[in-house]
Amino acid sequence: MRTVTIAGAEQVPQLGQGTWKMGERAGDRAIEVEALRLGMDLGLTLIDTAEMYGEGGAEEVVAEAVQGRRDETFIVSKVYPHNASRKGAVEACERSLKRLATDRIDLYLLHWQGSFPLADTIAAFEQLRAAGKIRHWGVSNFDAAAMKTVAAAPSGANCRANQVFYHLGERGIEFDLIGQSAKAGVALMAYTPLGGSAVTGHKTVAAIAKKHGASPATIAIAWTMRHPHVISIPKSAKLEHVRDNARAADLVLDAGDLATLDAAFPPPRKAAPLAIA
């Protein structure tokens, strides 16, 4: 498994697993747990979740999946903006820890910008980090300008990651955010990297998939991983799709592939508002 360096030293898997829309239906729980465990077996030991997903249900699915294997996993969770006051973020983290049945969250993110002062949220994160409740903190859905605000805040240099919407059909972050993040040592996490049927059903992606003997989904994920500081977190509760996703860790697209994909899905030529899914 290729890795991404965070906090200047720690290596985390470049390919992980998302849990958006998990934990919403009790009847799906067993297969969701099985899918996460299969992913772990295949090296996808970074698992992303949030208190928003299933209103805590996804965190409970993660807890069951990592039972007995917590030390081999890197768990990411996120706090709602409306819970991100100095006191509220600490309380929300405690609830997430209880649902996750763990004593620490490896990376805790502000899910998106809200009304509470960013300095207060960061202060809460630093309090949680000092207490050992979280190991690292970051943000999600922050554009280049917002990341400059984070960097300028007290303890803002401790921001380790920014989770963003990124796939072949949505390349806006490439205009400024990817380069800015690399320079600042902030890892990017690509959520929804498959991009839906507009990407995986595209004839160009299908042709490259055929060339590599892979699925279009594998190609789409591998494309997001061509940047050494971008972590990809596809979600799937279907075992065959988990296996497809995992194959992206071993697939490297060549220069010809990348040029062909650029022609079909052009990179941005100007700044645009950050897309959020």
Q: List the catalytic residues.
A: 53
- Residue 8 in tokens: 């200047």
φ, ψ of residue 91 in degrees (nearest 5) = -65, -40
Alpha-carbon span 204 to 218, nearest angstrom:
14
Strand locations in 105-206, DSSP E? Answer: 105-110, 134-140, 159-165, 187-191
What does residue 232 show for φ and ψ, rounded to 5 degrees? -105, 135
Q: Please compute, for residue 152, the number of CA atoms within 13 A of its CA located in the half-sphere on the CB side.
A: 6
Nearest alpha-carbon partner for 37 in 242, 268, 223, 267: 242
How many helices, marked H, and strands, marked E, lie in the chain?
Answer: 11, 9
Q: What is the 3-state secondary structure (H, E, C) of 105-128?
A: EEEEEECCCCCCCHHHHHHHHHHH
- Kind of pairing, strands 230-232 and 3-6? unpaired
